[in-house]
């Protein structure tokens, strides 16, 4: 029987785990274009992109061999996540973390665009939103409150002041400290907010 080209990722993964080495080759060939383009778009260097590409599949193989893979039907997002983490490691090792302008106008949310996103960007986007959400949770309560009202509910500082019972100046101050703390947390956790 002829094998179709559209064998699903989960079936290929299953077959590979059961010992069919050629299934891995099919998986690599199927996703290499997108994965390589994604890595290259972040590191802008062919040799580095090749290294990270290889390392991604070494990690994939190790994980599959250990039987630790459980992302049923989500093979592409899973390998993209592995590649994303390796890209972060690369930037970290080479001290090439993107720098943020150190200004009061620093706006974490301006980095997050909402254009129509392709699959890889969607994954990174979701990861950025998760990272940002976790960072916001680390802020002191009153800073978190102002930041959420301002960024997520689009409230003016006058409305924030009315809602929280503090002066507009205090609300502005809390917002400023929230952004300063977010910046510190981004550096501390080495989070990359690139899309």
193/195 Cα distance (integer angstroms):
7
Closest by CA position to 52, among listed 86, 93, 76, 92: 86
Domain with CATH 1.10.10.10 in the chain: 108-189
What pLDDT sits at residue 126? 72
158/64 Cα distance (integer angstroms):
55
Domain 108-189 fold is Arc Repressor Mutant, subunit A (1.10.10)
Answer yes or no: is pLDDT of 166 > 50.
yes
Q: What is the pLDDT of residues 88-139, one digit of tens each?
A: 888 877 765 554 444 444 444 444 444 444 565 666 667 777 777 888 888 8
Distance of CA 44 to the CA centre of its chain: 18
Distance of CA 113 to the CA centre of its chain: 13
Percent of the chain residues topping a pLDDT of 90: 18
The DSSP code for 97 is P
Tell me the mean pLDDT in the region 22-37. Answer: 90
Report domain 9-93's class.
mainly alpha
Q: What is the pLDDT of residues 71-98, one digit of tens each?
A: 666 888 888 888 988 888 888 777 655 5
């Amino acid at each position: 029987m002829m094998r179709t080209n559209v064998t699903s990722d989960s079936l290929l993964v299953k077959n590979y785990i059961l010992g069919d080495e050629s299934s891995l080759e099919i998986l690599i060939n199927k996703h290499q274009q997108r994965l390589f383009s994604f890595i290259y778009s972040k590191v802008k260097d062919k040799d580095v992109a090749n290294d990270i590409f290889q390392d991604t599949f070494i990690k994939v193989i190790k994980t599959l061999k250990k039987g630790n893979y459980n992302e049923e039907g989500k093979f592409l997002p899973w390998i993209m996540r592995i590649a994303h983490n390796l890209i972060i490691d690369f930037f970290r090792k080479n001290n090439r973390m993107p720098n943020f302008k150190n200004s009061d106008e620093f706006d974490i949310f301006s980095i997050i665009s909402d254009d129509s996103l392709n699959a890889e960007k969607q994954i990174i986007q979701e990861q950025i939103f998760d990272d940002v959400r976790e960072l916001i949770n680390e802020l002191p309560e009153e800073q978190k409150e102002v930041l959420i009202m301002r960024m997520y509910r689009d409230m003016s500082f006058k409305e924030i002041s009315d809602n929280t019972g503090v002066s507009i100046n205090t609300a502005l101050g809390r917002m400023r400290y929230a952004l300063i703390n977010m910046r510190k947390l981004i550096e501390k956790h080495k989070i990359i907010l690139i899309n």
